[in-house]
């Protein structure tokens, strides 16, 4: 059984507020967000159909899917409005100096 590990995915300066970036860790396609200077990570793939969340619209701690405008809470992954019903997977994030690390 494999254990979760911390992976460096970006420098803090690479993730601007409300401009999430996409990173790949192993098989996980992950979106990294800056919410008021705090960094968060979710699955990058919408739970409704196949869409990349980083192509959507971030407002504060919510991300809107670019395809059908479903919205999720970035911090919890919670699905907030139709047509999305299933939460986005979220990943733990920590900082080391200027580096953003994600537990996968």
Residue-wise DSSP of 43-71: ESB-SSSS-BGGGSEEETTEEE-TTT--E
> In the complex with ligand FES, which residue's Cβ is closer, 40 or 71?
71
> In the complex with ligand FES, which residue's Cβ is closer, 65 or 102?
65
C-alpha dihedral sign at 77, 78, 82, 85: positive
Verify binding: residue 65, ligand FES, rule CB under 6 A: yes
Phi–psi pair at 39, nearest 5 degrees: -105, 140
Site for ligand FES in 4-63 (CB under 6 A): 46, 48-49, 51
Least distance between ligand FES and beta carbon 4 (Å): 26
Distances (CA, A) of 104 to 23, 29, 41: 12, 11, 10
Least distance between ligand FES and beta carbon 85 (Å): 10
Least distance between ligand FES and beta carbon 54 (Å): 12
Verify binding: residue 80, ligand FES, rule CB under 6 A: no
Phi–psi pair at 62, nearest 5 degrees: -120, 145
Per CB under 6 A, the list member of 30, 31, 63, 84 interacting with ligand FES is 84
């Amino acid at each position: 059984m494999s254990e979760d590990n911390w992976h460096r995915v970006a420098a803090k300066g690479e993730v601007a507020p409300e401009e999430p970036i996409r990173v790949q860790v192993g098989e996980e396609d992950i979106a990294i967000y800056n919410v008021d200077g705090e960094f968060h990570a979710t699955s990058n793939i919408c739970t409704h159909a196949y869409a990349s969340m980083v192509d959507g619209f971030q407002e504060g701690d919510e991300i809107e899917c670019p395809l059908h405008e479903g919205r999720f809470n970035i911090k919890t992954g919670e699905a907030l409005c139709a047509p999305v019903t299933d939460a986005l997977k979220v990943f733990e994030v920590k900082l080391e100096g200027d580096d953003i690390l994600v537990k996968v």
